[in-house]
Amino acid sequence: MNQFQIKPTIQFGADALKRLCALPSQRALVITDQAMVKFGITEMVIRPLQANYMSVEVFADVTPDPDISVIARGMKAFMAFQPDVVIAVGGGSVIDAAKGVLYTLAQGGQLTEKPYFVAVPTTSGTGSEVTAFSVIKSNTEKWVVVDEYMLPDLAILDPNLVTSVPAHITADTGMDVLCHALEAYVSNQASDFSDALAEKAVQLVFRHLLDCYQHGNDLHAREKMHNASSIAGMAFTNASLGITHSLAHALGGKFGVPHGRANALMMSHVIAFNADFHHQCDTAAALKYTRLSALLGLPATNTREGVRSLMVAIDVLREQLGLPANIQACGIAESDFNAALATMVALAKQDNCTPTSPRSASETELETLYRHSFLSASLT
């Protein structure tokens, strides 16, 4: 049975934070990280809550790629304070940690009533504010949990909160948006609904990401990328993703490569694989990539040209954003990479994003994708 769902209310624009003044709650637990405290973003969120006479408790211990110990500490903070609203303020790591806290408490029967859940993203990347996904680390492995229970009730997209994102994180997270849209677009669960969102997100990224990278204070470009992130999130929470993400999760878990950057390293290789670029180049995914190239105004008179155009455009953007061309350029030694390869392939194979890949990949094919991505920029 086919289904498409859009859950959170989305408050967007340069005054979106004002929405916090109107929350019908009394006790707010703000889940965040130290960077948000340092940049004054936590304060920007707390002010309207206190103006609304709410009691506020802050848990600011989330670390990038949160693991189960962060979730456990967050659960403790929740149980001690008993909030009726949880507000996640941060990047994907913070929002995923807040989801992990709520989900684990509910699974353990420790929640009588689910608190209202607000997500305030401060990066334009994961789209976690509108997705049922949470990525949690355990030792060196990243696990993708998917459950609608974790969908926020309200997402607040205020571009003022992303102007402080440093250029290299703007680049990483922006490529994450592109990857979400591309993978949702060719997923075997894609629909007219998710396609419409994915197409818009891809266009917004190609139009505005470089401006965000070069001019971090460009509020117009920041707003467009912030919207693109949620639009791509709505596409993939419905259509799911593919093996770029599976390969990136295992690589990020093992070597600490930031999530968006790991996606950027794998993306063109996976496009070539999905399109069967080096053989017939006539798969359903090849046709869809070609349609996207045409939408972007790139040469696309046939599938080979269309797929090549898209891969080249991605490689050019990646270079303009100062991102490494391959895994080796991330400073990972070949011996370490080879030693981890079998484990990463096994993890990628069982990743929650793998079943929706438009083309099924064997372990040998996953290994080949890793090997190509280690040394070369793309398969063009």
C-alpha closest to that of 83 among 148, 31, 29, 134: 29
201 binds ligand NAD (CB under 6 A): no
Provide the 8-state DSSP code for 21. Answer: G
From the CB of 97, what's the least distance to ligand NAD, in Å? 9
Long-range Cβ pairs for the range 294-302 (8 Å, 24+): 295/199, 295/202, 295/203, 296/202, 296/203, 296/206
From the CB of 175, what's the least distance to ligand NAD, in Å? 10
Q: Which of 283, 356 has the CB closer to ligand NAD? A: 356
CA atoms of 216 and 231, how far apart (whole Å) = 21
β-strand pairing of 133-138 with 141-146: antiparallel
30 binds ligand NAD (CB under 6 A): no
Contact pattern for ligand NAD over residues 168 through 187, marking x by CB under 6 A? -x---x--x-----------
149 binds ligand NAD (CB under 6 A): no
From the CB of 76, what's the least distance to ligand NAD, in Å? 21
Radius of gyration of the chain from Cα atoms?
20
Count CB-CB contacts under 10 A for residue 114: 13
From the CB of 221, what's the least distance to ligand NAD, in Å? 15
Q: How many CA atoms lie within 13 A of 134 on its CB side?
A: 27
CA atoms of 352 and 259, how far apart (whole Å) = 16
Strand partners, 59: 31
Find the binder of ligand NAD among 25, 128, 203, 244 (CB under 6 A). 128
74 binds ligand NAD (CB under 6 A): no
Q: Which of 170, 293 has the CB closer to ligand NAD? A: 170
**String of b and e for 132-170 (b: at least 16 CB within 10 Å)?**
bbbbbbeebebbbbeeeebbbebbbbbbbbbebbeeebb
Window 32 to 51, contacts with ligand NAD (CB under 6 A): 33, 35, 39
Task: Give all strands (DSSP E) within the chain, no chain letters.
Answer: 9-12, 27-31, 55-59, 85-90, 116-121, 133-138, 141-146, 154-157
Find the binder of ligand NAD among 11, 25, 134, 290 (CB under 6 A). 134
Find the binder of ligand NAD among 222, 224, 226, 259 (CB under 6 A). 259
Please give the residue whose beta carbon sits closest to ligand NAD in the complex: 91
Q: Which of 170, 283 has the CB closer to ligand NAD? A: 170
| Burial (CB count within 10 angstroms: exposed 0-12, middle 13-18, buried 19+), residue 108 | exposed
85 binds ligand NAD (CB under 6 A): no
From the CB of 339, what's the least distance to ligand NAD, in Å? 23
Find the binder of ligand NAD among 260, 351, 357, 370 (CB under 6 A). 260
- Site stretch for ligand NAD (CB under 6 A), options 89-97, 183-191, 201-209, 291-299: 89-97
Find the binder of ligand NAD among 25, 42, 104, 131 (CB under 6 A). 131
Contact pattern for ligand NAD over residues 216 through 235, marking x by CB under 6 A? --------------------
Q: In what order do the strands lie in the sheet with 154-157?
A: 9-12, 154-157, 116-121, 85-90, 27-31, 55-59
Find the binder of ligand NAD among 104, 126, 268, 293 (CB under 6 A). 126
351 binds ligand NAD (CB under 6 A): no
Q: Which residues bind ligand NAD (CB under 6 A)?
A: 33, 35, 39, 64-65, 90-94, 96, 122-123, 125-128, 131, 133-135, 142, 161-162, 164-165, 169, 173, 176, 259-260
